[in-house]
Structures are given as C-alpha cells and as structure tokens.
C-alpha cells in the first residue's frame, strides 16, 4: 500500500452560540508514503481545523461529526481518546502547531520543555530521553548546548527547529506542519524548508505542509490541495497546479494570479473580488460561486465535490 493516510468525507463543525460553523466539510484526500502534500487557501478556510481533526484533537467547541481517517490502513476514528493518546498522537502522527515557537515557556530551559513533552507521552528513563533529545536536536541542525538555554536566548529559526525536533521525538510517520515558516524572515524560511526536505528524504517521513503562501508551497510540496471554505476545490501534482497548462479550478487560478512569481513576465497582480464566506452560513452549491468569474446557472444550486479529471488531478468545478 502506498498511502500512509487516507481521509474520507471528514467533517468537523464548531458548535458556537451563534450557530454551527462548518469548518471542514466532507474533505477527502490521500497522503502517499514519503511525500509532502501542501495545503493552501486563504485564512479561515479550515486548514488548521483539518489538521486538528487528523490528530483527533478538535479545539472546543469543535467536534468531528463524520468521516474516516485511515492511518497506514488502520481506521483511527473509532479509537477512544486514551487509545489515541497512547498509540497514535505524536507516536504515529504529529504536528508542528501554528505559532508553536512563540509558545515555548519563557522560564523553562529547552531541555525541561522537551523532557516534559516526551514524558507526557511515553515512559522513558532519563538517560534514554536525554539520548533521544540529542539525536533529534542534531538532526534539525542544533547542538547540545541549546538544551541549557532559555527560549529568549534563541533566534526564531532555532526555536522553530526545537519545535520540529519535539514533533519528531516519538518517531511518527506523518508530520503536519501548520504555517511553520510564516513568522520567519525569508532567509530562515529557506533554511527551515531545506531542513524539512532533508528530513523527508533521510527519515522517509510524510509531511502535510500547511501555508497560505503558494510560492512556498511550490518549493516544498510534491502535490497540492487547495481548500476553499472548508472544502477541497483542487488536488494535483505540483506540475498540474503550477505548470504551463495551468490549474483547473477558477479559485486556484485566482489565487495564483494574486501571488507574485519569479521567472515570469511581470504582469499586474490580480486580487479576488468579494470576501471569503462566513462559514456559519456558507453559500449554497459551490461555495466559491459568489466570487467566481465564470459562474454558471447550476453552480449556486448543486453542491460539487472533487472528481478526477485526469490521473492524480481532482477538481470540484461544474465546468471541468
């Protein structure tokens, strides 16, 4: 089997006082062994929510209300929280949370924070834990003296490396990185991206790499999933999304039109008219239809889900 993760019709809703926010709506996709799947889309389209659903760790008042998550062939949906904590989360699938590097506790040394995370999840004696910390710090390019330092003594890039090392600790097969480079300057961004590429190659890890920045996605990912308003609108290889033929979904095309790109004749950047929808009351039919430049008669009425239009290339659009 070459899929490490298969997600089918995943749904996560937030049950707020104002109503139900359908943040992830019937999302289906696969992650192949050893690949990086990029997830892109505007802020608020449900990227982080999707990631928390994959860890079965929704943020209150969120709840997973449907779907299936197969991790290396095992359906983890029916597992209890105790079983997930003992055997799945961090052990088989882990996550670098959005903004985690800014959430390191200022009064603890790096060693203390790493030890606590490690020991919360697995009983391990002190010496063994120490060895493992060093192994992963070295892997992410840090030396052992980082252990004695406090977060304020480290640069942003070093802190992000600590967070990545912590996510790798229990040797998961799948690592989700949620906007891991967003708060960093471009030079450090490039370093972190190269680090993730090396880890993928050397450890055979599979990554889900979430960002709102399409130009970074092109650099790291083998395949891309574009999300809009809680749904997948297009999934394809790098070539299918960025290649000369161009992407197939009007939203992806617009998103690319709004992204500055190198090695291309300079044309004016476009923007996407209208605002991202309110997920408390999303548009009917295709959720992009109110902003779509090529909307058709049926789009506001009929829901549309991703379908294969050529091998590896899935699009949710009535025009395709």
Tell me: does residue 47 bind ligand ADP (CB under 6 A): yes
Stretch that binds ligand ADP, among 42-50, 144-152, 239-247, 266-274 (CB under 6 A): 42-50
Q: Which residues contact 28 (CB under 8 A, 6 or more apart)?
A: 7, 8, 9, 10, 232, 305, 306
Least Cβ distance, residue 124 to Mg ion (angstroms): 31
Q: To 10 degrees, the CA torsion angle through 70, 136, 182, 281?
A: 20
Dist. CA 22–CA 41, nearest whole Å: 16
Least Cβ distance, residue 279 to ligand ADP (angstroms): 4
Dist. CA 4–CA 33, nearest whole Å: 5
Return the bridge partners of 31, or none.
Answer: 5
Contact residue for ligand ADP among 49, 94, 113, 240 (CB under 6 A): 49
Residue closer to ligand ADP (CB basis): 35 or 179: 179
Residue closer to ligand ADP (CB basis): 21 or 146: 21
| Binding interface with Mg ion (CB under 5 A) | 47-48
* Helix pair angle (156-168, 110-121), 10° resolution: 20
Tell me: does residue 17 bind ligand ADP (CB under 6 A): no
- Give the three-class secondary structure for 29: strand
- Asked, as a colleague might, if the bond just before 57 is cis with ω within 30 of 0, I would say no
Residue closer to ligand ADP (CB basis): 44 or 172: 44
Tell me: does residue 12 bind ligand ADP (CB under 6 A): no
State the number of binding residues for ligand ADP (CB under 6 A): 16
Contact residue for ligand ADP among 279, 292, 314, 315 (CB under 6 A): 279
CA 235 to chain centre: 14
Dist. CA 231–CA 316, nearest whole Å: 9
Q: What angle do CA 35, 41, 59 make, to 5 degrees?
A: 85
CA neighbor of 229 nearest in space, from 176, 295, 280, 179: 280
Stretch that binds ligand ADP, among 55-63, 182-190, 267-275, 288-296 (CB under 6 A): 55-63
Backbone angles phi, psi at 278, to 5 degrees: -80, 120
Return the bridge partners of 37, or none.
Answer: 208, 223
Tell me: does residue 168 bind ligand ADP (CB under 6 A): no
Residue closer to ligand ADP (CB basis): 44 or 250: 44
Tell me: does residue 21 bind ligand ADP (CB under 6 A): yes
Residue 23 touches which member of Mg ion, ligand ADP, none, C-beta under 5-8 Å by kind:
ligand ADP
Stretch that binds ligand ADP, among 57-65, 216-224, 251-259, 289-297 (CB under 6 A): 57-65
Dist. CA 249–CA 41, nearest whole Å: 13
Dist. CA 12–CA 45, nearest whole Å: 12
Residue 49 touches which member of Mg ion, ligand ADP, none, C-beta under 5-8 Å by kind:
ligand ADP
Least Cβ distance, residue 229 to ligand ADP (angstroms): 8
Residue closer to ligand ADP (CB basis): 24 or 110: 24
Residue 46 touches which member of Mg ion, ligand ADP, none, C-beta under 5-8 Å by kind:
ligand ADP
Measured between alpha carbons, how far apart are the two ends of the chain, in Å?
30
Dist. CA 216–CA 220, nearest whole Å: 7
Least Cβ distance, residue 236 to ligand ADP (angstroms): 19
- Chain residues binding ligand ADP by CB under 6 A are 14, 16, 21, 23, 41, 43-49, 59, 61-62, 279
């Amino acid at each position: 089997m070459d899929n490490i993760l298969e997600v089918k019709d995943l749904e996560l809703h937030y049950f707020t006082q104002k109503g139900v926010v359908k943040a992830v709506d019937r999302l289906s996709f696969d992650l192949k062994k050893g690949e990086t799947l990029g997830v892109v889309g505007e802020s608020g389209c449900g990227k982080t929510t999707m990631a928390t659903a994959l860890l079965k760790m929704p943020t209150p008042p969120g709840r997973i209300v449907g779907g299936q998550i197969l991790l290396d062939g095992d359906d983890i949906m029916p597992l209890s929280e105790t079983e997930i904590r003992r055997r799945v989360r961090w052990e088989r699938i882990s996550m670098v949370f959005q903004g985690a590097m800014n959430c390191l506790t200022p009064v603890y040394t790096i060693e203390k924070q790493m030890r606590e995370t490690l020991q919360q999840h697995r009983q391990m004696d002190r010496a063994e834990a120490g060895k493992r910390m060093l192994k992963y710090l070295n892997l992410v390019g840090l030396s052992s003296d980082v252990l004695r330092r406090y977060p304020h003594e480290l640069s942003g890039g070093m802190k992000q490396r600590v967070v990545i090392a912590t996510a790798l600790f229990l040797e998961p097969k799948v690592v989700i990185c949620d906007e891991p480079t967003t708060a960093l300057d471009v030079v450090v961004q490039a370093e972190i991206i190269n680090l993730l590429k090396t880890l993928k190659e050397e450890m055979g890890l599979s990554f889900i790499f979430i960002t709102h920045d399409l130009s970074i996605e092109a650099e790291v990912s083998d395949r891309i999933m574009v999300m809009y308003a809680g749904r997948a609108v297009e999934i394809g290889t790098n070539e299918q999304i960025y290649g000369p033929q161009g992407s197939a979904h009007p939203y992806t095309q617009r998103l690319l039109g709004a992204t500055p790109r190198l090695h291309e004749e300079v044309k004016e950047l476009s923007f996407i008219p209208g605002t991202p929808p309110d997920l408390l009351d999303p548009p009917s039919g295709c959720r992009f239809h109110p902003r779509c430049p090529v909307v058709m008669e049926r789009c506001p009425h009929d829901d549309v889900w991703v379908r294969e239009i050529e091998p590896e290339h899935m699009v949710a659009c009535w025009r395709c």
